[in-house]
Amino acid sequence: CSSDLYRYFTAKTQLDKRYRAIFDHTYQFIGLLTTDGRIVEANQTALRLVGASQEEVKGALFSETPWWSNNPEGKKLLEEGIKKAAKGEFVRFETVHKSKDGEVVAIDFSLKPVFDRNGHVTYLLPEGRDMTEQKLIQMRISESESRVQAILTCLAEGICQLDVDGKIVYINSAAQQILQYEEDDLIGHHMHEKVHYVMPDGHERSKEDCPLLRVIKEGKSCRVSEDWFVRKDQSLVPVEYVSSP
């Protein structure tokens, strides 16, 4: 019996060590709360962020700890979330924490209820994912798109973007002026059917002969030095264009 007991405690100790290693060294911020929002424990990743120790925060209300001291809006969301999670709801929201160095960190935060065998909530599992880098990337992409949009808007040449079905998804101001259409009159409409469906002699132009649609099918650029587009008033305007995949 003593040998069995020894093996049990040895196995449990090893399991506890593995659990602690994962818990403390994961990249995410993880902790454990009572149902009224008091800290049972927090992992080292979360503690390092605010420069706190386990002893300083254990037993304290999570909402009163350094993670939320500079974020009254986030603190309110947390307090409301704890009440919901204690009733068995999964809670998730975006917030920010301020590190001990004053850096603002964007957090994807969640509260997950932990149930016992009888379906009662016994603990709450708070988890935070650092989204700062992703937010910066999104901001840079948005800024880049805004710059491109500004350039395209100011170009004297008409620019039009089609999806793989040949429908217009973007058209700049110069192209709108050329075709005498407003943007809302063109977005979502088929380019060929809207402005490229007829020849100067009045004959209908088939989709099979449309250089614009051929680029979509073949994936090769096409330059047309002499062609015609149909304006809103049904008059024809001579155009030269390059169509590229």
pTM of the model: 0.53
Give the per-residue pLDDT at 245: 87
pLDDT digits (tens, 9 = 90+) for 107-165: 899 999 999 899 999 999 999 988 877 777 777 777 777 777 777 777 778 888 899 88
Q: What tokens does 174 get? A: 């110069």
Which parts of 3-74 are beta strand (E)?
A: 29-33, 39-42
The pLDDT of residue 64 is 93
Q: Which two tokens stand for residue 196?
A: 């490229």
Block residue for tokens 């989204």: 131
What is the distance between the alpha carbons of residues 95 and 236, in angstroms, rounded to a whole number? 55
pLDDT in tens, 34-68: 999 999 989 888 898 889 998 999 999 999 999 99
Mean pLDDT of 73-82: 95
Q: Cβ–Cβ contacts within 10 Å for residue 8, how many?
A: 10
CA pair distance 111, 89, nearest whole angstrom? 8
Comparison of pLDDT for 12 and 45, the residue scoring more: 45
DSSP code of residue 66: T
CB 244 within 8 A of CB 214: no
What average pLDDT is seen over the chain? Answer: 84
| Whether pLDDT at 188 is above 90 | yes
